[in-house]
Structure 1
Amino acid sequence: MNNIHITLTEFRNESRVIKETTSLVSLGLFNKVRVVALGADDLPERETVAAGVDVVRIRLRTRHLPRNILFQAVKFVEFFIRAMLQAYLFRPGVINVHTLALLPVGWSVKMLCGSKLVYDAHELETEVVWLRGVKQRVAKGIERCFIGSCSLVIVVSESIADWYQKEYSIKRPFVVMNSPRRIVPESSNKLRRELNISDNQLIFLYQGGLTRGRGVKALMDAFKVRMDNNAVIVFMGYGELLADVVDASQQCERIFYRQAVPPRELLGWTSSADVGVSLIEPSCLSYLYCMPNKLFEYAMAGLPVMVSQTKDMADFVRKWNIGVVLSDMTPAGINLSVDQMVSNVKFREGGERAYKAALCHSWEVQEVHLLEGYASMGVYPV
């Protein structure tokens, strides 16, 4: 049996999709898995990413059209048709869609090929901060219309699973968290050596997108007004706030920027910090219920964490006692938590507990939940 996954990304560093597809092949659920994604000039149209897993990127003929709503719709229609053609030729027994907009595509392939449909929701997409008014009503209408046709719904947190069950009166979705595979963290001193950070300064590390809604500005403001130099913040990543971060690093001796590194090199840099930082601003339900992969990556690297007051993430940190949860996102609130980490001589025990928590939620554990989900719709290892 074949399995096809359709995504509206260019499939560059889609760690969750890569983990899922490789697991589905290695566990013996499918003979072959194909990912259909958007094309890009700097990426091959066809690529093998693992044994039994290949990628087909669709280079839209309409991609150079303007980015207004009318031409974006034209581009989507082209992708819809060509993705359906790819699926029809591949003849999948199961089709997975990885975003709400692709549910109609998945339903069409289901009807055309007799496939089972899997909706893999990477976030609570109808409850994101930028989706309001008519757009939100349309999105919820699409989800409500097609979600009942899905043989399996997969989500990334327990609260999101509860929300879907209540909102649409469906069977509770299966939770498959976006956590890394088990690794043994290695001691590293890369950040101190490259950025010339003193041994007696605690390194707080922010890795990921330098975008709004993730506490980047609040962190910079907090470290700018600190009265001592016993803690520093290092930002690693890229995004719309990159210039602001670089500027802050040039003006404040407690703020550092280190450009992002390839995923295969990430762990060595992560483990060279002292505390991992994940400050998702709870400005919408999607953010409130999130369980970001960075939280698990910090924990797998053996770092205690400092997190914001988002429900599932804060519950996780408190349950495993692996760090501190901010009282609020003001500079004073952030510095209060920083001071707690600095003054707690046992904070490294939080790193040990974090690693244990990471092992208990590793991708090897999530694979079991993935198997249970596919078994619920009658797909078993051969």
Structure 2
Amino acid sequence: MHSSDFDYELPDEKIAKHPVSPRRVARLLKASSPSSITHHTFEHLPKILDEHGCDGLWVNDTKVLQARLYMLKPTGGRLEIFLLEPLDGVAEQALSATKGSSWRCMVRGGRKWTSGYASIQLGDIVLEARPIHPEEGLVKEEGGTFKLTFSFTGADCMGDVLDKLGKMPLPPYMKRESEDSDKDEYQTVFARLPGSVAAPTAGLHYDDVLLSDLEQIGLPLSRLTLHVGAGTFKPLSAGAIESHHMHAERCVLTYSTLQLLRSQNRRIATGTTTLRTLESVYWMAVYHKTNGTFPDILPQWTPYELDDFNMSYEDALDYLMELIPNEGLWTFKTRIMIKPGYRIRSISGLITNFHQPNSTLLCLVAACLESAGFQQSWLELYDVALEEQYRFLSYGDGCLIELK
């Protein structure tokens, strides 16, 4: 399988630059099979899910950080810093830090930043940044990132500093600066745990009215957390799919999450990140059963190397509940890559947006469409969406893929 198998022409006018309002009037393409494609809006989702027999609607409740900072170098030149993840990997601790924290970042305009602090000030809040090893200057790491240490005054914690001084990290394909409205619009209404640098965009279609309608049919949201990294925008490596190095993202669950999953039979995942987490839960169980320990990061190809392991999703949940503490958080990082040929185990349907060409997200969607009977490839569905004038990417419309 080649990266070119996931390419298609996406005209710029099909890319949504702003969301519709209210959120629930976004269009929803329902795909049950190649011969059963219907067109709705998200307002119809409660009725559709009720007919589907859904008893668990899962969402990713991560919260997007205002992770883009525009700072001034000691020379007065402008510097753009994009915070990717804290160096210790735990966003909650880094954001609650009362004096400062260290992050892996992308830096634009830093070529001549050889010494001193970069800074930004708003009222009483002053934020300063410097390379983690000042004597070495700005050192580029693998992947073109940099390690920076931040310190501040005038605020209670690093999270407050980012809320006041940072900008929403809109995807590069929007080709515009973030606006004040993006602080709300590029955040799900159920966002809870800060740590992402990109939104779980399928969840952007839900608003309070839609959530109320879902609760009225007995479908309150089921929640988990995956902190979305900038790697979600990384295009597939040229050549064979197997040559692509998948990014790792941090998942956060609890014992009660596993209990809730175990009580459900027909789950719908809202978004690729939600599905990636639900599938990773299964492979964490298989990995532990095989190796006697949990991995620090669930490897990219574990699902294919251990595919013949005989364990149902329900048995995997039972196995994990014997291992996971009843209280506190269960966290792990996952690097699994879902591509055509992968067998989906955790859900009976996926709600997702229409994704970029040459993306790992499109690989995941292609795997789901295989399970829905689209043997001629994902392009069947995307051709319909383009012809029917659906809006694409983060602020665009969505689709519901019903798996066999």
* Alignment TM-score, normalising by the size of structure 1: 0.31
More strand by share: 2
More helix by share: 1
